[in-house]
Structure 1
């Protein structure tokens, strides 16, 4: 209880969320276990979120809003909380990604973050962040909400064939991940192409990069490295990378042939083995 009492609501979005949850729960004259019973979770989880030991999910926040009659307060706060779990250097890009009208990305090694399944994302993030994998996975999945918004960005994704063959999380995780990619075949705003190894040298040899376009703001080019990201609106860089991306698309398999390759790899490499 001492941890709850000393929580500083100004320290971070997560601290503010926990502080508000405790304040409004107590204002409703509910103990942690009583609120847990109402929203179908344990009182322990309520306590862990109030003391910032656990990061709330969007579903949890919606149920708390309904139980406490808080007019969507926690549903609004949880977006800030999840965004704050992203690496500090990545947050400016995530803010711009959420505002983009067009997203064009080339992924040299792994599946694009907005298309990842929870299990795939968790396996990736656990490599370098074993102590924060729950929080970072939740943050990554929350980024994906833009694809299901009322006015989603038009997204073009070129995946190196390496992303299909690099096993992440085991065969079952990969099979489910490739199934997820195939589910986007009929999505009106997402196009996936695979760049096969047979393409040889190409304009994406420098590695993964993303181009963001906006209705009224300059285009942005983004590339990240091990511990930082680089974002620029330099017109020369934008022109060069835009042309390079167009060449990647022209070199890659068509969306239909890409889907066929994904399905073949899924069955031959990650299917049920005798």
Structure 2
């Protein structure tokens, strides 16, 4: 089965957009190369839009509406897709995560999955009571950390985390102490940056919740966590907003050395 055959435009708005792009292109007797020239992208990008493996950016949708005189059709359809929930978003996010050149994460409630110990992850997953196969879910989460063992690991993995997250005794003091020790060890690795936001900084740019920004080549994606799922953002304008927010959070974070000192203090307190 081809990628086109797997599209489900009746139940997925992104797939609807992908199918419409192909239909309207063929109606105009245009090739993918023609659309690539219109949108100033390469041929493979258009192919990915039509197969649903990449999302048509807002700016390109506006370009197609202008050139094809479609009266805002693609722009409106893309806006609808962006506002609709896609149950496959997390699967897509983890695929991007696996290939990322850089990862910039902010953790407001729990430590990011890429930095969790197995016992910490198990305590979180079991406590949430949302899956039957806890061990399977733990194994899946731990497998994501294999990105650090790639032949060419990410250039940088950066974590900003609230101090209150570091103080929550998830799984009990022993489990949490081991988790803090793991963070301390990870902070020494090349390409890994861990910085905490002190409790004294109660108001900052991250009060709205956790999110992660991934960069693959020149493309960036943002993942925003939410109850029962999350949202994957690919539009460059919106991703830039996340990037600016991330920079503001970093402005208020402790230095790397101060964060290491904090981790040691919290480990001592949990003895």
Structure 1 residue 101 corresponds to structure 2 residue 101: yes
Q: Which residue of 1 aligns with 2:250?
A: 249
Residues 109 and 166, structure 1, Cα contact 8 Å, conserved in 2: no
8 Å CA contact 1:110, 1:162 repeated in 2: no
TM-score (norm 2): 0.65
Counterparts in 2 of 1:240 and 1:89: CA distance versus 1, 3 Å: closer
Contact 1:105/1:158 (CA < 8 Å) preserved in 2? yes
* Number of equivalences: 183
Q: Which structure 1 residue ranges, 5 or more long, are not aligned?
A: 1-86
> Residue 224 of structure 1 aligns to a residue in which SS?
strand
Query: Whole-Å Cα distance in 2 between the matches of residues 202 and 147 of structure 1?
Result: 30
Aligned to 2:90: 90
Trace 1:1-274 onto structure 2 (pairs within 5 A). Answer: 89-127=89-127, 128-129=129-130, 131-153=132-154, 154-216=156-218, 218-268=219-269, 270-271=270-271
Name the structure 1 match of 2:76.
none
Distance 1:263 1:145 in 2: 26
Which whole-Å CA distance do the structure 1 matches of 2:228 and 2:207 have between them? 20
Note the alpha carbon deviations across 1:229-250, whole angstroms, 9 max, x for none. Answer: 2111222221211111111112
CA distance in 2, matches of 1:233, 1:92: 11
- 1:34-89 residue CA offsets vs partner (Å, 9 max, x unmatched): xxxxxxxxxxxxxxxxxxxxxxxxxxxxxxxxxxxxxxxxxxxxxxxxxxxxx955
Q: CA deviation at 1:140?
A: 0.3
Q: CA RMSD, aligned part only?
A: 1.4
CA displacement, residues 197-217 of structure 1 (integer Å, 9 cap, x when unaligned): 11231111110000111114x
TM-score, scaled to structure 1: 0.64
Q: Distance in 2 between matches of 1:233 and 1:130?
A: 28
Q: In the alignment, what sits opposite 1:55? A: none
Q: Per-residue displacement from partner, 1:217-266 (whole Å, max 9, x unpaired)?
A: x2111112111221112222212111111111121000110010011011
CA distance in structure 1 between the partners assigned to 2:195 and 2:183 by the alignment:
10
Counterpart-to-counterpart distance in 2, 1:147 and 1:201: 32
| Structure 2 residue runs without a partner (length 5+) | 1-86
> Secondary structure of the residue that 1:144 maps to in structure 2?
helix
**Does the CA contact (< 8 Å) of 2:223 and 2:233 recur in 1?**
yes
CA contact (8 A) 1:120 1:168 kept: yes
Q: Which aligned segments of 4 or more residues in structure 1 are displaced greater than 3 angstroms?
A: none
Cα distance per residue 1:168-188 (max 9 Å; x no partner): 100100010000001013200
Checking the alignment, whether the CA contact within 8 Å between 2:220 and 2:234 is kept in structure 1 is yes
Contact 2:96–2:216 under 8 Å retained in 1: no
